[in-house]
Structure 1
Amino acid sequence: MTFNIWLSGGSVEDGQYKIAKHIKIINPDIVALEEVESEEHVKNITAKIGPEWTYLIGTGSYPDTGIVTRHKFLNSGRAETHRDIKLTPNDQIYFGTTKTIIDSNSAIGTQILLDNGITVSFWALHLDYKSYGPYAAYNKLVTKKEQIMAGEDNGSKNCRSGQMHDLVTNKVFQAAINNSNNIPVFVCGDFNGPSHLDWNDKNKDAHGGWIIEWPATKQLMENAKMTDSFREIHPDIIAEPGYTWSTVQKFSSEGWNWTIPEPQDRIDFIFYRSSKLKPTNSFIYGGLEPLTPIPNHKNNDYPSDHYAVVTDFDVLNVN
């Protein structure tokens, strides 16, 4: 499950209780959290889910990304920052079982031992939110694709393309990918941008006439050979758009009396690479009760402005 928890539940009444409630309803093995504002918040949420659940977050002053699980972290229990890591041949098996790796400012990764004996490499990701691509794509004054792509790649590490490049070229992540036949790899999170699989010739009329190869998802699929689990299960982009943005942000903003439509799109993902696992179901989740849009959202039962994404996997009989 990947779940943007919208400022640690602070945008609705009893938000942290509701975050825990909906994780318990789904009862996933592992959850990638985004918008984790502090360790105290994720600690409280994890305690509300149940005593068997544990958590991991980054070490920065604003960690933002966390991982919670009802299984066993194979680490020392606290994330540590590693850059320019020099791996030995033995490290190529993976990066060891005593450390958790943070990759730059966008992702954290760890190994988790599931109760069925399978170890997985799990990475939680939250890419930059600024210069949201669909805003430019739907602007009638934008006439060149280069104008849209300037928001995806500004030449630095602090944009979506740069952050994804930082991940896929990270030595520890590459070691995990190279060993994915033995240890399945997951990258889950809020990419704050659409998929290149979704903006093609089939539905360009719904996207302002544009066909866009959004670089973050494209890098992950082409450079790391990972698979988008939702789109694997739901290949028809017209029948199953899978929009995760947004549950409540339907119009923006109050300056226009909430009459300007907010572009809706699929920006939250569960990617995987493994010969041992096969996705059997993937769906978006926004709770079981009707959702009231902003500005009347405070009492919503579901606490996020993003739909969560959930994918079920079967273990294959592989010799």
Structure 2
Amino acid sequence: MRIRSRVAGLALATGLTLGVAGPAPTASAADTLTVMSLNTWLGGTKVTDGVNKIAAEITKAGADVVSLQEYSADSTQKIAAKLGWYATDTGTDVDIVSRLPFEGEDWTAGGGGTVAVKIKGVWIYSVHLDYTKYGPYNACFDNDSYATIYADEANRKKQAQEILNWAGSSPAIIAGDFNTPSHLDWTADTQAVHCNSVVQWPATKIFADAGYSDAYRKVNPDEATVPGNTWSPVVKTNQGRPEPQDRIDLILYRGGPTLNVTSARTWGGGSNWPSDHLAVVAKFNL
């Protein structure tokens, strides 16, 4: 839950510089883009050989561009160097690595710190919302009222609005660890597995109301039979209680008829998986 960049000869109005972490590989098909979101669990430091494992999983997933969360020291640059990819270098909590060159880059302190790069004409954002006052704990551990649940979502709601305002009206893909479930998942059809609660989680609802679609739920519309949980393949208990299992790593997109998701899935798990989150991978037609 923490964010720096390089492409030779490209100066940006933001004052940031772009840089190459290695030779640029051949671009993918001009009309598609595969996006991955991955929380790196403190830059791969929580597992043995974490950087190599992260780079290997990115390669296996067939991603073109990856939204990373939980930077640690120079973890992003190490991951990019292993891949021979381009990378942002924000020095805080979020970064982006890409096998395709950046056409532009920007960063804002809004939304808890958000970085964006432009690839194939589309702005792609890496985000990581506030992890405190985690909503499923309110519902499942504290049996809080809906009023309390929504009140405790205030900071994530504010961050989501800041990101939305910053992104503007351009075609965009917003990917990251939202630290909240989706309003598309805590429904009447799933309340039995969500502590008998139906919650319109504000951070995701704000994006939906602004015309953003959820890539995973667009491809897998039945939240009851295909929950798509990303938290957590590692954390299953919490002080002797079952840890709520939820889909909190999301890829949202908006771009009219020219930007459409064609596939979306969770990625990862197993003994060699380097994160306490699953990743999510979505392929788009541009």
Normalised to the residue count of structure 1, the TM-score between the two structures is 0.75
Deviations 1:95-133 (A, max 9, x none): xxxx52324233111212xxxxx3211111000001110
**1:230 and 2:216 aligned:** yes
Tell me: CA distance 1:122–1:140, structure 2 relative to 1, closer, same or farther (3 Å): closer
**Residue 166 of structure 1: aligned partner:** 162
Tell me the distance in 2 between the aligned counterparts of 1:313 and 1:66. 20
Alignment of 1:143-222 (within 5 A): 144-153=145-154, 159-170=155-166, 173-174=167-168, 177=169, 179-180=170-171, 185-222=172-209
Letter in 2 for 1:107: T
One of 97, 118, 121 as aligned partner of 2:123: 121
Aligned partners of 1:190 and 1:267 also within 8 Å: yes
Q: Residue 201 of structure 1: CA displacement? A: 1.3
Tell me the distance in 2 between the aligned counterparts of 1:103 and 1:119. 23
Deviations 1:39-90 (A, max 9, x none): x2211111112x2x1100325xxx1100000001124xxxxxxxxxxxxxxx
**Residue 242 of structure 1: aligned partner:** 228
Provide structure 1 residue ranges, at least 5 long, that are not aligned to the other structure: 76-98, 113-117, 154-158, 254-258, 292-299
Alignment of 1:1-319 (within 5 A): 1-38=36-73, 40-49=74-83, 51=84, 53-59=85-91, 63-75=92-104, 99-104=105-110, 105-112=112-119, 118-139=120-141, 141-142=143-144, 144-153=145-154, 159-170=155-166, 173-174=167-168, 177=169, 179-180=170-171, 185-223=172-210, 225-253=211-239, 259-274=240-255, 275-287=257-269, 291=270, 300-315=271-286
Tell me the distance in 2 between the aligned counterparts of 1:306 and 1:138. 20
Aligned partners of 1:103 and 1:166 also within 8 Å: no
* SS of corresponding position for 1:202: coil
Q: Over aligned residue pairs, what C-alpha RMSD do you find? A: 1.5
Tell me: CA distance 1:145–1:73, structure 2 relative to 1, closer, same or farther (3 Å): same
* SS of corresponding position for 2:207: helix
Q: Residue 139 of structure 1: CA displacement? A: 2.7
Tell me the distance in 2 between the aligned counterparts of 1:222 and 1:302. 35
Answer with 202-211 or 1-10: which moved more: 202-211
Deviations 1:136-159 (A, max 9, x none): 1013542x2111122211xxxxx2
Aligned partners of 2:40 and 2:70 also within 8 Å: yes
Normalised to the residue count of structure 2, the TM-score between the two structures is 0.83
Deviations 1:235-263 (A, max 9, x none): 1011100000001001124xxxxx42111
Provide structure 2 residue ranges, at least 5 long, that are not aligned to the other structure: 1-35
Q: Which has the higher strand share?
A: 2
